[in-house]
Amino acid sequence: MFRFIHSADWQLGARFSQFGARASQLREARLTTLRRALDLARQQAVDAFLIAGDLFEDNQVDNALVTAVIDLFRERPDVPVYLLPGNHDPASGPDSIWERPAFRNAPSHVRVLTTAQALDLGGGVHLLAAPLHQKLSTLDPSLKLRDLAASLPSGTLKIGLTHGALAIEGKHQPNDFPIALDAASRAGLDYLAIGHWHSWISETDGGRIVMPGTPEPDRFDHERCGQVALVELAGPGVPAKVVALPVATLTWESLSFDFLSADASRSSLEHAFNALRERAATCVVRVTLKGNATPQGRRETLAWLEGALAPFFVSQRIDRTALALSAPELADLQHRHPLLAQVLNDIDRMEVLATGSGSVSLPPLGEGTGVAAVAPPTAPLSLAEAQRLLDHSRTDLASLKTEDFVLLRQVLLQTLQEVAP
Amino acid sequence: MILHAIELTHVGPFRDTVRVGPFARGFTLLEAPNESGKSTAMRAAARALFDRHTTKSEEIKSLQPAGTDLAPRVAVEFETREGRFRIEKTFLLSPRSLLQRWQEGRWQAVAEADAADRRTQELLESTLPGRGATQPEHWGFLGFLWARQGEPTDWPSLDDPTVGQRIRARLAKVEIDPVIEALRQKLAAQADGLLTSTGQAKTGGALRQAEDDLVSIDRELATLRQSRAELDLAHQRFTRGQDAVQTLEREAADHEKTARALGEQALAVERLRGELDTRRLEFAAAREALSAVVNALETVESRTRELAAARLAHGEAAGTMQTQEAQLVRVRGEIDAQLLARPAQEGRVTNLRAHRQRLQDLLKLRELHQQTIDLQRQHATVEKTAEEVTRMEAALARLPTLTPARLRALEELAEALRTLEAQTLALGLTADLFPDSPRRVTVNDAGEPLANPLPEGKATRIQRPQVLDLQLEGWGRIVVRSGAREAQTVSADLAATRARFQQALREAEVASLEDARAAVAQRKELDLQVRAVRTALTKDLGSHTSAAALLDAIARSHRRAESLASQLQPTPEETARGRTELESAEAQAAEALPAAERTLQVTDAALQQLRQAERGQSDAVQQATRTAADLSTRLRTLESQVADLHARFPEGLAAAKAREQQRFAEAEARQLAATAKLPPDHERLPERNRRATAALQQVQNALQASRTERDSASGKLESLGGLGLYSQESLLEERRAEAVMRRDALRGQAWTARLAHDLIEHRKQAATRSVLAPLEERLTEAFADLTGVRSRRVFLRDDLQIQGIGGTRDTTHGFDVLSQGAKEQLLLCLRLAVARELAASEPQVLILDDVLVNTDAGRQRRVLDVLADQAAHLQIVLLTCHAERYRGLGETLRLGSA
Ligand SMILES: [Mn+2]
């Protein structure tokens, strides 16, 4: 019996531009996960820890990261590690990450398989590796495994190791190292450990080909990831026993707040935050605000959210709120500040000119509000006038989108509240 | 605000207290002649209403009565919607301010000093300038409603944020909304903090900062991407290099095999060629030997012929040699004869030359002696004249140094002295003393001494300019004084002139004026004499510059004579010979010398010719000897050559020739056999071999280059690969994303604030424009009422200033080009319109200070109609010196009626 951990696509050193300065914390979390997976392997007393490509996001990540990874391996000499270069970290030459001093001087239980080879792991078990040497190729990397297997005696346990997309019609790019769906049986392998896609797939080729997915999720709404595979092979020809072990450090939660039903939204959000409270320190949370809000309501909600989001590891707020006044507020505004009512009309008009449609913030003057228009009737803003006004801030009317007008109204009404609370 | 009364003290023409008022609620005519102070009174009222009581500006000082330091005091009684007030201000000296209010039937103090000023300002909604006196724009509504004398067409700007804007809003019937105004200002502040007026990011602003940050991040990113591109390039180089190395290694192996095979073929051919070369050498040797025998035969024959000819020539050469030797002996005899005659001729020439030289030197010596004597004589004369010069110059030095100009000054001083003395006499005091008996008299001043005692019965005259102070013996002191001022001056002049005269004499070193005159005459005489003697001395010196130079010349002449004499050592006979005798002897010697010299030259020429002939003959003898010797040598050589050739072929020349011909034929056959053994293309083999080697070398070179290239790329990759470029780029990208968000947020804030502000501004202007037409309508009507002309419209600009009048907006006559009268009338209409608008919320006064000076009598009537109508709604105060024009309109106040 041969037991091992099969993982892939750690993508260490990956970039998270949208999170700015907090991105480094997200990168840090991936190392924590790797440590956890190695510790798990140790507990399980596995015979091998396979990494089926893309341990690193790029060949050009910094040395500190490489050293940190080697240190994790070094600290666990009883876990034999087999590393396969993938398309993100191919064995492409002297610039490949595997040629760094840290890897060249790696401890002996860490094997980097930079050439196609069959390793005799002892006890009639062979590990056949087909590493990648470049970022793109239309060739099936498992073909090499077939050649390697042909030269091995039958009756031994053969485990394949390579990296690429499953050649499922319409689901892969032709130059993305397509692996035939019968690659394991074709080559006479008992198990083919692959990596590349970030979700768990374990049913291919009668369960002989397994793609474990990324051990650490890297975006919101990511399914079937955050695990490694624990594999047990009883002997040649016996189907593998594969168990998914969860190892992820962070959870990614995407929530929303709709001003259409502000109270309901708030209580459901509060509920969600409570549920997440215990893992807030390892939770990446995003709240999307939408719907029409009054300036007052929006301000209060933002203030509340700021406090509520504070305990989370990383939080992100996306504001898609449109600012709206209630009918009485509008009537009051028209009555007290007729000129401002005209300006809001002008903004509506501008939005129509710019986008072809508009969210009209004011009903026609004097209509439905029960209040007669105070300001004398005025001509609507012309296209030339609109562009002339925008020239003053070097803004092009045609480039303006609906959200720009939302912002414009927000600024106007927000400032109004500041000068006349 | 409306006016009730004005009280003035110490203002302009009013030295006492003057009260102007009470003003009617409707129309009041303030009548007074020109320059009587009615405008001054109104100006003073404005100062009391609007200026700080402590101000010391020129406008306040101009209120003071002309030529006085009196403190102007002004009190104004006025009414606002808050009630009736009295402000009283005293300016300049001990300034005071007191505001009172009419309550319970009496004036009660409201505030004093600065507080009074402030409260009044609030009541009148006026403002204050930073410093100095207020201007109409500070006067609140009154700034607009007061048509000042001489400035009836002045109309303040409506752009100032307080009064002007308020009036503008009232005219346009637009309410000023303070919230919107605050909103507009806040938006402007927000936009202006981030953008320039042209919409660019403002230096120092947060937006600009964000943009700059982004630029700097992008710059870093570009650098990093450059490195990344280098890495990619190096990677390509490495891959290419690696491929090339593999290809070339295979190629090199192929070339090596080819080169080896060719090398073996070439070696075999090389051996065959070696054998052929040996056969060729043998063949060449045989040919050589044959040709040597043939040559020897030919040489023996030609040498035998040459030997006979040489023997004949040798005989001829011996004869020639003997003839030439005889000739040489003859020439040498002639030379010896000439050499014998030459010494005597040469001796004669030398003697003649020495003799002549001595005669010339003797003559020179004579001449030098004579020259010395002449110079000594000349020197004696010079000595005498020089003594004369010295003597005269001494006499001149003894005279005082007095120039004629100086003498003239002395003369003038003496003359002045005389004149002044005469004046003194004429002016001063003269006392003639006739004592009965000799008396002692002392004059108590430092004047001239008197004979003491004075002679009796004789007049002694004492003269003094002013005071005569005498001590009379036996009588006492007498002091006589003159009151004449002139005498004083003359006497002072006299003393001064006398002192100057004495000083001048001292400076000239003479005792008196006469002495001075004599000295000047004597000096002139002596000067003439000295000049004459100096001229004589110059003549005596001749070409010499001085007596010393002359003495030098004598010494030089004497030295030369001495030196010549010691060289010649003349005999007594020579010394005794006369000069003429010496000169004729020298002439004789000069004639004899050339003949002797010519004889010697002839002999020398003959000798030279003979020596040349001797050299020629000697050469001919040697030539003949050599020719004979050469011929003899040649004979011996030829004889030995012929003998040698015969000795080399002992078997005989013909037999040797037959043997060598046989050997030649055999060698030729062997060489042909060797040539036939070589392969047909053996000539191309070395070239092919060389090519194969070169090709191999080239491939190896290329292989080496590719390895170097691959290794260099590999080195570059190793160094760049360890930099962690991707991680660095990630950090920058993440920073960039943040900067972009910040920039976009600020940009959003900026343009939205600016646009919101501009929209408010745009709507304000649109509101103004919308009321322009009705306002123009009202003004047009009022202007037509005033002028009686109904065909013209009044047009306003967007800022509510009058644009002009005319048929249509495009054909208006601009306000600036209108007649003064039309301008006055238009402004009157505008003021009336404004006053009426303002009066709706508070009573208003309209002050017209002599404004309709340019309006003709016909229009005047219509003006009266309009004013009469308006007086029902407004307080109108009209200042004029033509009261008759406004009779019957309302109250008339005369200035001065308290
Ligand atoms: Mn991959």
Nearest to A159 by CA among A3, A308, A274: A3
Q: Domain end: A324, A351, A367, which one? A: A324
Measured between CA atoms, the residue of chain A closest to residue B733 is A17
Q: Which pLDDT tens digits describe chain A residue by residue (421 residues)?
A: 999 999 999 999 999 988 888 899 999 999 999 999 999 999 999 999 999 999 999 999 999 999 999 999 999 999 999 999 999 999 998 989 999 999 999 999 999 999 999 999 998 999 999 999 999 999 999 999 999 999 998 889 999 999 999 999 888 889 999 999 999 999 999 999 999 999 999 999 999 999 999 999 988 877 889 999 999 999 998 999 999 999 999 999 999 999 988 899 999 999 999 999 899 999 999 999 998 888 788 888 999 999 999 999 999 898 888 777 777 887 888 788 888 888 888 898 899 888 887 655 554 444 433 333 344 456 788 888 889 889 888 889 889 988 899 889 889 988 988 887 6
Cβ B755–A62 below 8 Å, yes or no?
Answer: no
> Does A77 share its domain with A172?
yes
Task: Tell me the average pLDDT across B304-318.
Answer: 80
**Cis? peptide before B594, omega within 30° of 0:** no
- Give the CB-side neighbour count of residue B807, counting CA atoms within 13 A: 1
Residue A193 is part of a domain; what is its CATH number?
Answer: 3.60.21.10
Map out the domains of chain B with their CATH numbers.
2-174+771-897 (3.40.50.300)
> Does A30 share its domain with A141?
yes
- Residue A226: both structure tokens together: 């955050």
Asked whether the predicted pLDDT for residue B158 surpasses 80, the reply is no
Distance CA A188, CA A154 (A): 9
> Does A273 share its domain with A379?
no
Distance from CA of B214 to the nearest CA of A (A): 14
Asked whether the predicted pLDDT for residue B668 surpasses 90, the reply is no
Centre of ligand 1 to C-alpha B244, Å, is 30
Distance from CA of A240 to the nearest CA of B (A): 38
What is residue B447's predicted lDDT score, i.e. its pLDDT? 62
Which of chain A's residues have a Cβ under 8 Å away from the Cβ of B743? none
Place of tokens 């040798």: B314
Per-residue pLDDT of B437-474, as tens digits, reads 777 777 777 666 676 777 777 777 777 767 778 887 77
Distance from CA of B118 to the nearest CA of A (A): 28
What is residue A363's predicted lDDT score, i.e. its pLDDT? 47
> Does A229 share its domain with A349?
no
For residues A30 and A11, the answer to whether their CB atoms sit within 8 Å is yes
Measured between CA atoms, the residue of chain A closest to residue B224 is A60
Number of helices and strands in chain A (H, E): 12, 17
3-state helix, strand, coil split of chain A in percent (to 5) is 40, 25, 40
| Kind plus residue range of the DSSP H or E element containing B98 | strand B96-103
What is residue A358's predicted lDDT score, i.e. its pLDDT? 63
Cβ B734–A21 below 8 Å, yes or no?
Answer: yes
Q: Domain end: A195, A221, A246, which one? A: A246
Distance CA B590, CA B584 (A): 10
Choose from A316, A349, A394, A397 for mutation: most chain B CBs within 10 A.
A394
For residues A160 and A191, the answer to whether their CB atoms sit within 8 Å is yes
What pTM, to 2 d.p., does this model score? 0.54
> Does A104 share its domain with A237?
yes
Nearest to B744 by CA among B381, B213, B313: B213
Minimum-distance CB partner of A393 among B729, B731, B750: B750
Centre of ligand 1 to C-alpha B36, Å, is 105
- By percentage, how much of chain B surpasses pLDDT 70? 95
- pLDDT top residue among B155 and B879: B879
For residues A192 and A52, the answer to whether their CB atoms sit within 8 Å is no
Beta pairing class for A48-51 and A2-7: parallel
> Does A208 share its domain with A308?
no
Task: Tell me the average pLDDT across B557-566.
Answer: 87
DSSP A356: S
Cβ B767–A58 below 8 Å, yes or no?
Answer: no
Distance CA B501, CA B421 (A): 13
Cβ B718–A95 below 8 Å, yes or no?
Answer: yes
Choose from A133, A136, A339 for mutation: most chain B CBs within 10 A.
A339
Which of chain B's residues have a Cβ under 8 Å away from the Cβ of A418? 186
Cβ B721–A337 below 8 Å, yes or no?
Answer: no
Backbone angles phi, psi at B453, to 5 degrees: -70, 165
Cβ B756–A415 below 8 Å, yes or no?
Answer: yes
Per-residue pLDDT of B196-244, as tens digits, reads 988 899 999 999 999 999 999 999 999 999 999 999 999 999 999 999 9
Minimum-distance CB partner of A343 among B723, B733, B759: B759
Farthest-apart Cα atoms in chain A, separation:
97
Nearest to B551 by CA among B379, B667, B354: B379
Per-residue pLDDT of B770-798, as tens digits, reads 767 777 887 888 888 888 788 888 888 77
Minimum-distance CB partner of B721 among A15, A60, A418: A60
Cβ B231–A60 below 8 Å, yes or no?
Answer: yes
Backbone angles phi, psi at B876, to 5 degrees: -120, 125
Q: Could you tell me the CA-to-CA distances from B481 to B407, B468, B476 in Å, in that order?
A: 38, 6, 17
Choose from B751, B765, B768, B769 for mutation: most chain A CBs within 10 A.
B751
For residues B24 and B878, the answer to whether their CB atoms sit within 8 Å is no
State the CB neighbour count (10 A cutoff) for residue A402.
Answer: 14
Minimum-distance CB partner of B179 among A19, A92, A419: A419
Backbone angles phi, psi at B83, to 5 degrees: 140, -165
Which of chain A's residues have a Cβ under 8 Å away from the Cβ of B214? none
Nearest to B516 by CA among B501, B502, B505, B527: B505
Minimum-distance CB partner of A393 among B195, B231, B720: B195
Q: Could you tell me the CA-to-CA distances from B598 to B352, B589, B595, B604, B611 in Å, in that order?
A: 13, 15, 5, 10, 21
What is residue B157's predicted lDDT score, i.e. its pLDDT? 67
Q: Hey, is the C-beta of B743 within 8 angstroms of any chain A C-beta?
A: no
Distance CA B231, CA B239 (A): 12
Beta bridge partners of B893: B30
Measured between CA atoms, the residue of chain B closest to residue A416 is B183
Is residue B898 very low, low, confident or very high in pLDDT (cuts 50, 70, 90)?
very low
Task: Tell me the average pLDDT across B163-188.
Answer: 76
Distance CA B86, CA B120 (A): 9
What is residue A369's predicted lDDT score, i.e. its pLDDT? 37
Centre of ligand 1 to C-alpha A19, Å, is 23
| Planar angle of CA B144, B148, B150, nearest 5 degrees | 135
Distance CA A252, CA A284 (A): 5
Is residue B585 very low, low, confident or very high in pLDDT (cuts 50, 70, 90)?
confident
What is residue B785's predicted lDDT score, i.e. its pLDDT? 82
Backbone angles phi, psi at B857, to 5 degrees: -60, -35
Cβ A390–B770 below 8 Å, yes or no?
Answer: no
Which of chain B's residues have a Cβ under 8 Å away from the Cβ of A94? 238, 713-715, 717-718, 721
What is residue A378's predicted lDDT score, i.e. its pLDDT? 64
B884: left (phi over 0), alpha (psi -120 to 50) or beta: alpha
**Cis? peptide before B680, omega within 30° of 0:** no
- Residue B598: both structure tokens together: 């010519």
| Kind plus residue range of the DSSP H or E element containing B27 | strand B27-31
Nearest to B893 by CA among B44, B102, B4: B4
Nearest to B465 by CA among B426, B414, B417, B507: B426
Measured between CA atoms, the residue of chain B closest to residue A12 is B727
Cβ A416–B733 below 8 Å, yes or no?
Answer: no
Of chain B, the end-to-end C-alpha distance in Å amounts to: 23
Centre of ligand 1 to C-alpha B560, Å, is 129
Is residue B384 very low, low, confident or very high in pLDDT (cuts 50, 70, 90)?
confident
What is residue A367's predicted lDDT score, i.e. its pLDDT? 40
Distance from CA of B700 to the nearest CA of A (A): 24
Which B residues, 71 through 110, put their C-beta within 8 Å of a C-beta on chain A?
none
Measured between CA atoms, the residue of chain A closest to residue B192 is A393
Nearest to B242 by CA among A407, A370, A58, A93: A93
> Does A234 share its domain with A374?
no
> Does A155 share its domain with A35?
yes
> Does A224 share its domain with A260?
no
Q: Domain end: A293, A324, A355, which one? A: A324
What is residue B771's predicted lDDT score, i.e. its pLDDT? 67
Cβ A415–B190 below 8 Å, yes or no?
Answer: yes
Distance CA B833, CA B836 (A): 5
For chains A and B, CB pairs below 8 A equal 177
Question: Of A36-50, A259-273, B172-186, B862-876, which one has max mean pLDDT?
Answer: A36-50
Per-residue pLDDT of B694-721, as tens digits, reads 999 999 999 999 999 999 999 988 888 8
ipTM (interface predicted TM): 0.87
Which B residues, 198 through 237, put their C-beta within 8 Å of a C-beta on chain A?
198-200, 228, 231, 234-235
Centre of ligand 1 to C-alpha A90, Å, is 10
Distance CA B877, CA A383 (A): 52
Q: Hey, is the C-beta of B653 within 8 angstroms of any chain A C-beta?
A: no
> Does A400 share its domain with A313?
no
Burial class (CB in 10 A: 0-12, 13-18, 19+), A41: buried
For residues B621 and B324, the answer to whether their CB atoms sit within 8 Å is yes
SS3 B612: helix
> Does A79 share its domain with A15?
yes
Backbone angles phi, psi at B442, to 5 degrees: -115, 130
Distance from CA of B840 to the nearest CA of A (A): 21
> Does A287 share its domain with A356?
no
- Residue B406: both structure tokens together: 């100086």
Average per-residue pLDDT for chain B: 84
What is the number of structural domains in chain A?
Answer: 3
Distance from CA of B120 to the nearest CA of A (A): 30
Which of chain B's residues have a Cβ under 8 Å away from the Cβ of A420? 179, 182-183
Minimum-distance CB partner of B759 among A346, A375, A415: A346
Cβ A347–B759 below 8 Å, yes or no?
Answer: yes
Burial class (CB in 10 A: 0-12, 13-18, 19+), B664: middle
Minimum-distance CB partner of B718 among A94, A392, A415: A94
What is the domain extent for residue A308?
A: 250-324
Beta bridge partners of A255: A287
Cβ A385–B179 below 8 Å, yes or no?
Answer: no
Cβ A58–B186 below 8 Å, yes or no?
Answer: no
For residues B739 and B210, the answer to whether their CB atoms sit within 8 Å is yes
Distance from CA of A316 to the nearest CA of B (A): 13
- Residue B2: both structure tokens together: 């409306």
Distance from CA of B212 to the nearest CA of A (A): 18
DSSP B838: H
- Residue A311: both structure tokens together: 């305990």
Angle between helices A23-43 and B725-787 (to 10 degrees): 150
Per-residue pLDDT of B595-647, as tens digits, reads 888 888 888 888 888 888 888 888 888 888 888 888 888 888 888 888 888 88
Is residue B322 very low, low, confident or very high in pLDDT (cuts 50, 70, 90)?
confident
Beta strands in A214-310 (DSSP E): 227-233, 241-246, 251-258, 283-293
Q: Hey, is the C-beta of B759 within 8 angstroms of any chain A C-beta?
A: yes
Backbone angles phi, psi at B762, to 5 degrees: -60, -45
Beta bridge partners of A81: A49, A110
Nearest to B86 by CA among B9, B145, B3: B3
Angle between helices B206-398 and B513-541 (to 10 degrees): 90
